[in-house]
Structure 1
Amino acid sequence: MAFGSPLFGTARRRGTALRRRRAVLVLCCAALAAGSTNIPASAAPPPLPPRLVEALQRDLGIDADEYARRVDTAHRLSDYAKIARIAHPAAFAGVRMDGGRGIVSLTDEVSAVPARATAEAAGFTVETVAASEATLRDRRAGFERWLAGQPGAVGESIFGYGIDSARNELVVRVAEGTQLPIEAGLVRAMASAMPQASPDSAAEDVQSIAAGEPAEPVVGGGQAYAFEVDGEIHRCSFGFNATDAAGSALNITAGHCDPENVVARSKRTGEPGRIFTVRGTSDKRYVPGEKARLGDEFGHFEVSSFAPHDYGILRLDDAVAPRFRNNLVSTGQLSPPTPSFVPPFLDTGSGNSGSASENPGEAGGVLRITGTTDPVAGAVVCKAGFRSGYSCGVILASDQVARVKGKPGQTDAPVQLDNMFITTLCGHPGDSGGPIMAGTEAVGITSSILSNTTPLDGTCGHVPVLFGQPIGPVLRDHPGVKVRTS
């Protein structure tokens, strides 16, 4: 559903951009066929906030320098894959990270020779596998045809599927004890559980953004917003600040955080879902333990999708839009501009624009988003959310289909989400919609988690498996929308 001002660019702009991308791709493919090794390294990234550095050490045992090296390798792998996938479809079988190594999978087709030479010259490790990515996609299509003809009980036992580049197989995630017949095709069944996409409705141990103070704070990704459903207040996390074609302030968050997607279809009003700050029983900042109530209005969901994707685009009201004109991610409340911290968009010309090592308010520093990138299997990513703060992990798989359930007792049957990526990030209800980053680049937003609790991970409280919505499809679906990089 879409409301308010248009988010879309003109057809002429789309055509021009498409022609440019095609021209670049043709040049890249020609370079790969000729054995070119021009896959440049990324520029040195800005410094990371202290709490993010702590999360890297706690969750993965790596420091900021190793993180930067792995992010750079994954970015170059992604660039290589975009070229090789088209230049050598019979040979290309995928890419992935293995710790700090970039792995390129190729078949033994004759066309693999130039692809192998380019990969090795770029410093990647090449492995020979049996099936190309194109072959695995054909298997996936065959499995989907089989699944479409099955009774509902069969579909209910299948929680998702996708290509596993490390195994060079099509993996189907199924309920415990489920066995797939030979008619399902050449697939590997893996016992799993159904992920859940749910906003937060608890009122303890969190501090939300307050409004109406003498100097209103800057709002970045990872901070909280609230909405009301059936008299109950729920909270999600802001994702990446963005702009539309006219430069108006937007934020990209999770679609299941739209109030219209939290209720059963029979209760939906068709009106745009409104979002707010959170207040306590007094007319001041929310204090944990108080009865939460809605504060000032932030804006509304202009775009909302909860199948086949999980994203929402928030249009911010004019009164609060200046607070979102930044490229920041944080897990604490950002102070208003002070002499020691001046966000770039409020720079007074004094030459002091702040840095990630400074401590605005209670944020422990901020991360500045510099661009976007695609998820790569095995790559290190970190997320921010108002419930669990920063956490870091690795991407297990990308381009996955997932069946996801919403808030128990309110939403209808599980929905199917496409193009998802699966990570080992720790997340909790309320982190939904928050940003997922590789270094300083936007990868996606938090969608859903496997919430079955277990003592296996004392830090997270449950097995850390989190599903992310890639940022790429959001931007492709809405030409003119851009993630803020300044």
Structure 2
Amino acid sequence: MRLPLALRAAILASATLLPVTAIAQAAPHELLSTEKQAQQLPADLVEAISRDLKLTPQQYLERAELAQRLGTYADGLRTDRPDSYAGSWLGTDGVPVVAVTTTEAAQQVTKDGYATKMAAVSANTLESSLAQLNSWITGLPKDVSSQINSTSIDVLDNQIVIDVVNSPLGRALNLPTLLAQLKVVLTPGGPGPVHQGPQGGDTYITTAQPLSHDTTPEQIGVCSFGFNSVAGNGESYNISAGHCDPSQEHPAVGAGSPVYLPDYNDVSRSTQIGAFTNSAMGVDADGLDYSLIKLNNAGVAAGLDTPSVRGANGTTVTVTGTARPVVGAPICKSGQTSTFTCGLVIAESVDAPLHMEDGSTRLVRGFAGSTCTLSGDSGGAILTGTRALGVTSGSNSGGAPSCMEANLVLAPDGGTASIGIPIEKILDRANAKLGKDLRVRTASAPA
């Protein structure tokens, strides 16, 4: 049920080139040793980290934690100096960089131990311009707005990037000229534990109506479990993608569509482990794309009450906390089709249209990553280090038969790119709407 997203890797081509020439400072504060934690990562994740990131497991964990420290520092600087803060990211060499608009702010950042880069406009100015741009786009006729693939902020080059279809109509768009810093891109259309029970990243199927021998393959949606979670009253949930819920495609279905663990020998005999109790996406959900699957006794008994995410061959990663997206942070995603694939956060915020099977379009806002994501991976868990970062929403490689082929075909356009929905924003919105006091299950939190 993973639906194609009109996202192109070239949207963020400039953002993937992290300039080390502007970096002069060493990373602040010596990180605690992660050697023991690295030794506990499953072999399949270690392989993906080495293959996709060219990092050791210890470097992966250290950079993931450093990115979170950078994010916290950046929040404080933005609060104290809203007109000076212009963005932050982790360089390809693991050095944290903070962009500022004044020499005074640069001196403060350098004193605090971070590398600096001068920028023309503040992050607040860019975000205001992006909001104006998106407002202008939504007012265009549909045949015109369909020529715009996505909009995003490239913090490295301090500009807004708008990806426009390389067509006569796309090239003829009269783009707003008063926006700050606008760029237009034209694109062609280990020894870890092994568990047998379902976990984050594994397959689930869903239908609008209960499964039976009369259910056709076209009526069955396939997605991936995200993060196992627990509410304040002890109820168990799994957080996945909103577009996986049949009610998003067919509102008349209503809430409560069943979710099953597939029986590959006889799909009609698949075990129901819960049902969608809430899902939201697009403008009605602050741009998010998420769903809550309330687990029944069978789901809990199957093992969906554990803080774990699966890679290939049954190996698992234990989730230790939650995290926010930081440009340059290393990430690894787990999905039922492509298992572990790794990459970097290449944009903290991207707005992109998610095209539904009924012909409608929902504007989704999330972070962009360079991980390969295939059809069926939607809803799967995205980690940075061993922290929960988000769930997979869409990608530019969904129709590919394999990540190897996706990387070959998409290389001329900048490679694979995917949209993830930040887990902390999902929790904030879900709890505000439902009052569930929902939290991701982690090794340090009680079950």
* Alignment correspondent of 1:465: 417
* Alignment correspondent of 2:360: 413
Structure 2 length normalisation: TM-score?
0.78
Equivalent residues in 2 for 1:149-298, closer than 5 Å: 149-177=139-167, 178-179=170-171, 180-181=173-174, 183-186=176-179, 187-192=182-187, 217-228=196-207, 231-232=216-217, 233-261=220-248, 263-265=249-251, 268-281=252-265, 292-298=267-273
* Alignment correspondent of 2:369: 423
Determine which structure has greater relative contact order: mean sequence separation of CA pairs < 8 Å that are 6+ residues apart, divided by chain length. 2
Q: Indicate conservation of the 8 Å contact 1:95/1:376, yes or no.
A: yes
Q: Indicate conservation of the 8 Å contact 1:443/1:471, yes or no.
A: yes
How many residues were matched structurally? 379
Structure 2 residues without counterparts, runs of 5 or longer:
1-26, 190-194, 209-214, 411-415, 432-436
- Counterpart-to-counterpart distance in 2, 1:458 and 1:390: 16
Residues 1:485 and 2:439 are matched in the alignment: no
CA distance 1:132–1:228, shift in 2 (3 Å): same
CA distance 1:143–1:460, shift in 2 (3 Å): closer
- The match for 2:275 among 272, 287, 300 is 300
Higher helix fraction (1 or 2):
2
Identity %: 28
1:62 is matched by which residue type in structure 2?
L
- The match for 2:76 among 59, 74, 83 is 83
* Alignment correspondent of 1:286: none
- Counterpart-to-counterpart distance in 2, 1:184 and 1:252: 41
Q: Indicate conservation of the 8 Å contact 2:273/2:297, yes or no.
A: no
* Alignment correspondent of 1:210: none
Question: SS state of the match for residue 474, structure 1?
Answer: helix
Question: SS state of the match for residue 428, structure 2?
Answer: helix
Question: SS state of the match for residue 320, structure 1?
Answer: helix
Measure how far apart 1:299 and its partner are.
0.4
CA distance 1:38–1:381, shift in 2 (3 Å): closer
Question: SS state of the match for residue 278, structure 2?
Answer: strand
Measure how far apart 1:433 and its partner are.
0.6
**Bigger radius of gyration among the two:** 1
CA distance 1:39–1:80, shift in 2 (3 Å): farther
Measure how far apart 1:217 and its partner are.
4.4
- Counterpart-to-counterpart distance in 1, 2:440 and 2:402: 38
Equivalent residues in 2 for 1:1-40, closer than 5 Å: none
RMSD across aligned positions (CA): 2.6
* Alignment correspondent of 1:63: 56
* Alignment correspondent of 1:396: 346
